[in-house]
Structure 1
Amino acid sequence: MKELHELVDWIIDKGICSNSIEEILLGVSKRLVELGYPLLRTSILMPTIDPAQRGFSVSWSSIEGVSTEIQAHGSAGQELFERSPIFHLLSNDLLFARWKLSAGEGTHSYPLLSELLEQGATEYALKLTSFPGETVLKGVGFSMAVDGPLGLSEEQIDDLDTFLPALALACYRIAATRISTEMLAVYTGPRTSGRILSGQTARGEGTAIYAAILLADLKNFTSLSEAYEASRIVAWLNEHFEAIGGAVEANGGEILKFMGDSVLAIFPADIDMPATACRKALAAAKIAHAANDDLNRKRLAAGDPEILVDIVLHVGEIFYGNVGSSRRLDFTAIGKAVNEAARIERLCDEVGRNLLVSASFADHFETEFERVGTFTLRGVTAAADVYGLSADSRREPDM
């Protein structure tokens, strides 16, 4: 019993100082083996909130070591989930179950148990620790597969109640931190989320940065919204945002905001050497247009309407920080440069171009652009020279 309490102390210590569930499971598994558990495999199972996954499991195997598996959303992921031991517990309001694999229990119903039997497991036990009232991380599952001829002893089963609460809390602490960090990045972008988590949360707090700006606007989306049902519009919108967003992120930019049918992204720049950021922004714009054209070809072939995109590139100083009310903030970019980019975007239809750039942006290139004209931008005192791609530069990039 002393050794078991030492295990609990070790788990608590690691739960405080470690950010790795994998490290904790490895340590717990090795210590249980030292205590006489004939372990073949252990695993920790947890739900999560993520656009791409419904949950994850971390497993330790005496043969393969530690691995992590993600359970995806969708019909395929749901089918696998419904054929798992943990689904059996959840759907029957159970916190514990065990299967004598050597007697064939559960091996015909659950592929995992059949696989473990083939590997030599004699018994599988799964116990859930629930967190009543928790809406996201509702609990933690811990499983053990053993290959001893007698399976698990009753004493070893009882030991779960001694060390599992500490293990569940340690995993909860790590998973909660991961979720808050990763989901904040999903909604605000990795750079922005990093600033927020570092403590930049006061209204008005931020900094002036120099950046290349990419503003993309999907054309005629309002009229399409009136002609097609909302579910189709949302699906199309997501496809085009993926095409644009993927190009931005692949070139080191960060999407700050989706505004209806528009995207605002920045490429932070060195004020003394902004050309690198401008080149990245231009590469992203070309790739976004190529990906968007590919989408439209497929949609037209299916008898659906095409959705074109106008993109404006600019470079200048922006305020990058918190704006909003006292309890509802938006970490975004505002300033003269952002406003000018929005005004230039309205010229795309007038001049018949789907990519326009400001003079300050074009200045960082030698032959890439040609002047389209000089225009008065609403709210801007001085007339603005606006540029488009030169004839030699109007080619699709390699995808």
Structure 2
Amino acid sequence: MPSLHPMYRGISANFVRGGATVLENAAHGSVEERNFEKTPIFYLLSRGERTGRWILAKGEGLDYPQLAEFALAGGTDHLVSLCEFPNELALRGLGFSLTSDAPGGFSDDQLAIVKALVPALGLAAYRVAVSKTATEILAVYTGARTSARILAGETQRGTGGSINAAILLADLRNFTALTEVYQPGEIVEFLNEHFELIDRHVEENSGEILKFMGDSVLAIFPTDADDPQKACMAALASAKNLLKATEELNRERTGNGGPNIGVDVVLHLGEVFYGNVGARGRLDFTVIGRAVNEASRLEKLCGTLEQPLLMSESFATTCAVPCQYLGSFELRGVSKRAEVFRLADAAE
């Protein structure tokens, strides 16, 4: 079946008599996708037909690599049936293939059984595809943890609650100036490269990106009530890894004549509201609160202090690593002065 997943063009389930079922995802740009035009399914689609049969024992269809492989394995007959899904979805339908190794191929009775089976199989596959697509696409746009809460029924404005979390806010340095120099397509490519790095290192440490805001990223690491240090260490590991990965990316990009794009990261620990915010018919499942505002204001100090990684007092005193005190600073819109820290150098 085709897929709406941004990483995969389609999914197939392959099974052989006496063996296990194997699920395979064909990534966009993969060999499987590039070779799709060399398949019986593409042949039927291009001709507007819904069924096709190739008697392998008579040498039919052997110009298709897959059918030639089946014939070498003893296949004698190959049958393909297509089932269309409702056209309001980008999921076009189901391709169902059967290969026989019987000496005479499929009998008339077997062909009749397959013909009767396909509509029911298509309905079942459609139900699976819609459910799977809704779950996967929601996770792509909101994150796995958030999508699970939405699918569990938290869909009304105001639903949610207060949680304690380590907050990671990452912002691309001087990125606005690049929009004056580079074309929109190039700008998007730069953003995607950095967002990919940030997402990879946030996710591998059990964090979740909640929002892309222009050239900024907001991620959270919910804390365990008995061990808030664990979330802080996860957020810190993400920050250190993504900064290192950014240096490597910049070396590669500048080596090819591209720009050096730094990343400023702020780590904070505090209470936030995690839930649905917005209009009744247009919601955003996100975090808001004083801690989020403080993290945003702290990020502005990265450039002032010439530090790519800053930590709030609550974060620095909770994480289990040596930190250096940088001073007390006023934050716009925040009544209390912020005590700001950075990681201590090894020599210190």
Q: Shorter-chain TM-score: which interval?
A: over 0.9
1:354-373 matched pairs, under 5 angstroms: 354-365=308-319, 367-373=321-327
- 1:176 partner SS: helix
The equivalent of 1:24 in structure 2 is none
Deviation at residue 393 of structure 1 after TM alignment: 8.4
CA contact (8 A) 2:85 2:126 kept: no
Paired residues in the alignment total: 348
Letter in 2 for 1:280: A
Cα deviation digits, residues 342-398 of structure 1 (max 9, x gap): 00000111011010010011111455211111101111111111111111189xxxx
Q: Check 1:174–1:393 CA distance in 2 against 1; reply closer, same or farther (3 A cut).
A: farther
Structure 1 distance, partners of 2:13, 2:232, is: 42
Q: Check 1:275–1:367 CA distance in 2 against 1; reply closer, same or farther (3 A cut).
A: closer
The equivalent of 2:254 in structure 1 is 300
Gaps of 5+ in 1: 1-45, 395-399
Gaps of 5+ in 2: none
Deviation at residue 66 of structure 1 after TM alignment: 1.2
Q: Does 1:290 align with 2:240?
A: no
Deviation at residue 67 of structure 1 after TM alignment: 0.9
Q: Check 1:269–1:226 CA distance in 2 against 1; reply closer, same or farther (3 A cut).
A: same
Deviation at residue 131 of structure 1 after TM alignment: 2.2
Q: Give the counterpart of 2:281 among 314, 318, 327.
A: 327
Structure 2 distance, partners of 1:72, 1:305, is: 29
CA contact (8 A) 1:368 1:393 kept: no
The equivalent of 1:21 in structure 2 is none
The equivalent of 1:209 in structure 2 is 163
The TM-score normalised by the length of structure 2 is 0.97
Deviation at residue 96 of structure 1 after TM alignment: 0.3
Q: Give the counterpart of 2:177 among 218, 223, 241.
A: 223
- 1:347 partner SS: helix
Structure 1 distance, partners of 2:347, 2:249, is: 22
Q: Does 1:146 align with 2:72?
A: no
Deviation at residue 239 of structure 1 after TM alignment: 0.9
CA contact (8 A) 2:229 2:320 kept: no
Q: Does 1:107 align with 2:59?
A: no
Q: CA RMSD in A?
A: 1.4
Cα deviation digits, residues 313-344 of structure 1 (max 9, x gap): 00000000001111111000000000000000
Q: Does 1:196 align with 2:150?
A: yes
Identity across the alignment (%)? 51
Structure 1 distance, partners of 2:80, 2:125, is: 16
Structure 1 distance, partners of 2:180, 2:36, is: 39
Q: Check 1:367–1:283 CA distance in 2 against 1; reply closer, same or farther (3 A cut).
A: closer
CA contact (8 A) 1:357 1:388 kept: yes
Cα deviation digits, residues 291-313 of structure 1 (max 9, x gap): 11110010111111111000000
Q: Give the counterpart of 1:136 among 63, 76, 90.
A: 90
CA contact (8 A) 1:125 1:144 kept: yes
Deviation at residue 127 of structure 1 after TM alignment: 0.4
The equivalent of 1:382 in structure 2 is 336
CA contact (8 A) 1:57 1:70 kept: yes
Q: Does 1:64 align with 2:12?
A: no
Structure 1 distance, partners of 2:326, 2:333, is: 20
Structure 1 distance, partners of 2:292, 2:39, is: 51
Deviation at residue 61 of structure 1 after TM alignment: 0.3
Q: Give the counterpart of 1:342 among 280, 284, 296.
A: 296
Deviation at residue 158 of structure 1 after TM alignment: 2.2
Structure 2 distance, partners of 1:153, 1:134, is: 37
Higher mean alpha-carbon deviation, 127-136 vs 216-225, is at 127-136
1:245-324 matched pairs, under 5 angstroms: 245-324=199-278
Q: Check 1:367–1:51 CA distance in 2 against 1; reply closer, same or farther (3 A cut).
A: closer
Structure 2 distance, partners of 1:229, 1:210, is: 41
Structure 2 distance, partners of 1:96, 1:383, is: 72
Q: Does 1:84 align with 2:42?
A: no
